[in-house]
Chains A and B, each alone.
Chain A
Amino acid sequence: MGRKDDKDKKIDKIGASDATKRVKSTEAVSDVEKVKGASAVSRVAGVSGVGGTQALGKISLEQREKLMGIVTEEAAKLAAQGVIPNSQREIVEQAVKMVIDATLIESSEEKKR
């Protein structure tokens, strides 16, 4: 059985290889264009309105009492937790109230043109 197989696999003859075709010459590279300068950006428009991030954290005089109340509450909490040392509590609370108060103006003044 094995022999028959070997017989079957006998090489008949080696065929002639195809003739090598001519290598085509490369085409001429056309001129590389110069890199053009980017056209100038005419102008970036300003952010419109006061909505969104522009109003983030905005405070006004009308909120004064509420804000001062929050400062008192949060200072008490932080002091009770030991985050603010007791020796500092009064000064720190007062300083934060001052710094907020000094930024508060009437919202009507803000809206006026």
Chain B
Amino acid sequence: MGKPASDGKHLSEEEANNLVVEHHGWTESIARAVARAWNLDWRLDGLDGAAMEALIFCSRRFDPSRGIPFKGYSRRRIHEASTEAARKSKGWSRSMSNKSAAENKARELSAELYGVFPDLRDGRLPVSESSGSDDSDARSAIRELLIGASLVATKQAVANGPLPDELMDYKRMVGVMACLEPVHQLLLYKVYWDGISLRNVATEWDTDGLNVMREHKVLIAYLQKSLAQGKPAALPKVRPGLKPLVTKLKSSGNKGPFTDVLVSTA
């Protein structure tokens, strides 16, 4: 048994050290997972040290009175520290120069996806509500990830100047998004162009996280349908939780960021 908590909130040093010892192996497995995915060496590239530092930091900050298990509290930080170390490592730049251009782009794109889908850092697919079948939930989440990745890739290509043969594809995607209500355009823009997570968009808009997550799911379904049929599908309605924002955007004359892009390039 460790010493009692020093201030009634955080753990005593001994208790915090015990947490570090208990979670050492688990922390290493997070660093190994990051290294495996990006083809790095988890020790040579310094992922082990970064992960351990994050573990120690979390053990000092952990407040058991909040009722959150330590793994739930610290996993995201440890994963974040590991991915940051990976991107700064020599292995990252070395393999960036050796690998094909497509693989390099894929790695950059995957690193950006954590900003959009932070639940992945907790070892969870982006599933906001269960359909009752794990398999169909996984499929639907993976579809969401693929379409999301495609949007981020579009943003990156537009920013870097797309190749002529890609230009039509990107114009088509932006055109489909420009048909949406301004509030829906803004949601997609914030998530995929600004890289803000859905939860943070909800906080910024002062609404419930589920409102934004459900709306995002509907928008992804709209994009999928529209792009598959080659013309815009029926426009999704704005859910009541987001109506105040609609009024605000209308009064300010905001037509939506993708409409603005189309107008400016017309």
B142 touching A113, Cβ below 8 Å = no
Contacts of B150 in A (CB 8 A): 78, 83-85, 88, 92
Q: Of B38, B69, B166, which is within 8 A of A102 by CB?
A: B38
A110 touching B123, Cβ below 8 Å = yes
Chain B residue with the shortest CB-CB distance to A44: B67
- 68-126 of chain B: CB within 8 A of chain A: 68-69, 71-72, 79, 83, 102-103, 105-107, 109-110, 113-114, 117, 119-126
A36 at the interface (CB under 8 A from B): no
Q: Of A47, A67, A74, which is within 8 A of B143 by CB?
A: A74
B37 at the interface (CB under 8 A from A): yes
A62 at the interface (CB under 8 A from B): no
Q: Give the distance to chain A from B152, nearest Cβ to Cβ, in Å.
A: 8
Binary per-residue interface labels of chain A (41-54) against chain B in the complex, 1 for a CB within 8 Å, 0 otherwise: 00111110000011
B251 at the interface (CB under 8 A from A): no
Cα separation A98 to B150 with both chains bound (whole Å): 14
B3 at the interface (CB under 8 A from A): no
Cα separation A103 to B30 with both chains bound (whole Å): 7
Contacts of A61 in B (CB 8 A): 33
Q: Give the distance to chain B from A23, nearest Cβ to Cβ, in Å.
A: 51
A67 touching B147, Cβ below 8 Å = no
B141 at the interface (CB under 8 A from A): yes
* Secondary structure dominating the interface of B: helix
A109 touching B29, Cβ below 8 Å = yes
A95 touching B120, Cβ below 8 Å = no
A98 touching B110, Cβ below 8 Å = yes
B179 at the interface (CB under 8 A from A): no
A35 at the interface (CB under 8 A from B): no
Contacts of B147 in A (CB 8 A): 78, 83-84
B153 touching A56, Cβ below 8 Å = no
Contacts of B123 in A (CB 8 A): 58-60, 103-105, 110
Interface size, B (range): 35 or more
Contacts of B5 in A (CB 8 A): none
Contacts of A58 in B (CB 8 A): 123-124
Contacts of A110 in B (CB 8 A): 26, 71, 123
B153 touching A92, Cβ below 8 Å = yes
B103 touching A94, Cβ below 8 Å = yes
Q: Of A74, A83, A94, A109, which is within 8 A of B142 by CB?
A: A74
Cα separation A57 to B109 with both chains bound (whole Å): 22
Which one of B184-192, B201-209, B222-230, B258-266 is at the interface?
A: B222-230
A78 touching B224, Cβ below 8 Å = yes
Chain A residue with the shortest CB-CB distance to B83: A102
B66 touching A46, Cβ below 8 Å = yes
Chain A residue with the shortest CB-CB distance to B167: A87
B106 touching A104, Cβ below 8 Å = no
B249 at the interface (CB under 8 A from A): no
A57 touching B137, Cβ below 8 Å = yes
Cα separation A10 to B103 with both chains bound (whole Å): 110
Cα separation A30 to B146 with both chains bound (whole Å): 69
Knowing A78-B146, A78-B147, A95-B106, the reply to whether A57 touches B37 (Cβ < 8 A) is no
16 contacts between A and B (CB under 8 A): A46-B67, A70-B142, A88-B150, A88-B169, A91-B106, A92-B109, A92-B150, A95-B105, A96-B149, A98-B107, A99-B114, A99-B120, A99-B149, A100-B125, A101-B33, A101-B37
Instruction: List the interface of chain B (C-beta within 8 A of A).
Output: 22, 25-26, 29-30, 32-34, 36-38, 65-69, 71-72, 79, 83, 102-103, 105-107, 109-110, 113-114, 117, 119-130, 137-139, 141-143, 145-147, 149-150, 153-154, 163, 165-166, 169-170, 173, 223-224, 227-228, 230
